[in-house]
Amino acid sequence: MYLNSRFLERSITVREFSELGSVIKSWKPHERLPSCSVRQLFTRFLDITTPPTPNLLQHFASIATDEDDQQKLNLLATDSAAYEDWRHWRFPHLLEVLEEFPSVTPHAPLLISQLSILQPRFYSISSSPALHPNEIHLTVAVVVYRTEDGEGPMHYGVCSNYLQNISVDEEVYVFVRSAPNFHLPSDPIKPVILVGPGTGIAPFRSFWQQRYYQLKQRQQLGKMWLFFGCRTKDMDLYKDEKAEMLKDGVLDRVFLALSREPDIPKTYVQNLALKEALEIYKFLVLEKGHFYVCGDCTMAEHVYQTLKAIIQKYGGMSDNQVESYMSSMTSSTQRSDCIQTNTLARS
């Protein structure tokens, strides 16, 4: 059945006319939502997986018919510590909340009007438009986890699972947001060092593809090093493509840090970078190369600190000198974004 998502506004209009004795069906656009089926509303436009806000819980408390449900909901809606504990432990989506408080049966149009709009998810473009015109490749980790310290129900990330399950030719809603501070140096001779563990490798695939395209155009290219990290050998993303790029001379060296491979000591990208400290110093400081990090914020901070230690040691700098050198490298006014980071806030 198709129901217009402007149901609330429509029902108001109908009632107004009813009082005059004649019912006129009238449909008006809603400022928040497009015209679509209820199924589409809940699958594509409304956020039904983020735990409900205290405001919504307060509304649920007001319509709960069971006294226990009412009391618990009132507590969660008014006591922020109780709410945070409950939210953190259960991270419940809407259905789980309705299951936890079965006497709450919200009126669908009111529920629709209370839910937040589903927020966009960002993905780094993982292909070069020069090499793959009219295509955009993504590298997506499919998010699946259990709540309650791994003992609770399975939860599925909205967008990554949606992308995994869509069929070929299905229409997706996308927009492109450019990242003006994260790009290859305009001079292709400059050496570049790329550090991207896990899905942090995504934008760097577009970098090496772009360099591959430039190589085919007979352009002269600087050195490109890649530091990639993953848990085990079988998660070595783009293994074959990286081997091709090494063979063709697009990538000069590729480092693999394995953090959970049996019989291998836990290794992170920054541990491998430290082993190449002198070369990294030469690339960045003497040859004015560029350094890129992509991935979660904690990793990026650890890599930054490692780089700082390398530059301080080989540059013979004091603490103050290295601080100001690092900020000059990241400042767009001096060495034009020589350290570029693209970090993802992840829980």
39-47, 71-79, 174-182, 194-202 -> range binding ligand NAP (CB under 6 A): 194-202
- Report the alpha-carbon distance of residue 63 to residue 49 in Å, rounded: 21
Closest CB to ligand NAP: residue number: 198
x/- site string to ligand FAD, residues 163 to 202, per CB under 6 A?
------------------------------------x--x
Identify which of residues 182 and 325 has a Cβ nearer to ligand FAD in the complex: 182
Exactly one of 114, 302, 325, 330 binds ligand NAP (CB under 6 A); which one?
302
Rounded CA separation 159/44 (Å)? 10
The entry of ligand FAD, ligand NAP, none that residue 214 binds, CB within 5 to 8 Å by partner kind: none
Stretch that binds ligand NAP, among 88-96, 119-127, 265-273, 318-326 (CB under 6 A): 265-273
Nearest approach, Cβ of 49 to ligand FAD (angstroms)?
5
Residue 158 interacts with ligand FAD (CB under 6 A)? yes
Distance, CA of 17 to chain centre: 48
**Is 70 or 259 the residue whose CB approaches ligand NAP more closely?**
259
Q: What is the C-alpha separation between 116 and 118, in angstroms, rounded? A: 6
**Dihedral angle, C-alpha 39, 44, 45, 46, nearest 10 °:** 70
Pairwise CA distance, residues 211 & 226, whole Å: 13
Within the chain, where are the H helices? 7-19, 38-40, 54-63, 67-78, 80-90, 94-100, 108-114, 158-165, 202-216, 239-248, 269-275, 277-281, 297-315, 319-330
Across the beta sheet with 253-258, the strand order is: 253-258, 224-230, 192-195, 290-296, 339-344
Segment contacting ligand FAD (CB under 6 A): 75-83, 158-166, 269-277, 318-326? Answer: 158-166
Q: Which stretch binds ligand FAD (CB under 6 A): 32-40, 133-141, 245-253, 313-321?
A: 133-141
β-sheet bridge partners, residue 194: 226, 292
| Nearer CB in complex with ligand NAP: 127/270 | 270
Cα separation of 190 and 287, whole Å? 7
Among 36, 131, 140, 246, binds ligand FAD (CB under 6 A): 140
Member of 8, 63, 285, 344 binding ligand FAD (CB under 6 A): 344
Whose CB is nearest to ligand FAD? 157
CB of 122 to ligand FAD, least distance (A): 4
Token pair 């301080």 is found at: 312
Contact between residue 331 and residue 283 where contact means Cβ atoms under 8 Å apart: no
Question: How many other C-beta atoms can be found within 10 angstroms of the C-beta atom of residue 258?
Answer: 18
Structure tokens belonging to residue 54: 């205290």
Contact between 141 and ligand FAD by CB under 6 A: the answer reads yes
Taking CB under 6 A as the criterion, the residue among 36, 159, 309, 317 binding ligand FAD is 159
Q: Residue 230: helix, strand or coil by DSSP?
A: strand
Report the alpha-carbon distance of residue 335 to residue 315 in Å, rounded. 17
199 near ligand NAP, judged by CB under 6 A: yes
Tokens of 276: 């190449």
Q: Pick the binder of ligand NAP from 56, 115, 294, 299 (CB under 6 A).
A: 299
Of the candidates 22, 167, 186, 347, which one interacts with ligand FAD according to CB under 6 A? 347
Q: Is 286 in the site for ligand NAP (CB under 6 A)?
A: no
Contact range with ligand NAP by CB under 6 A, out of 47-55, 115-123, 166-174, 225-233: 225-233
Contact footprint for ligand NAP (CB under 6 A): 141, 143, 197-199, 229-231, 259-260, 268-270, 298-299, 302
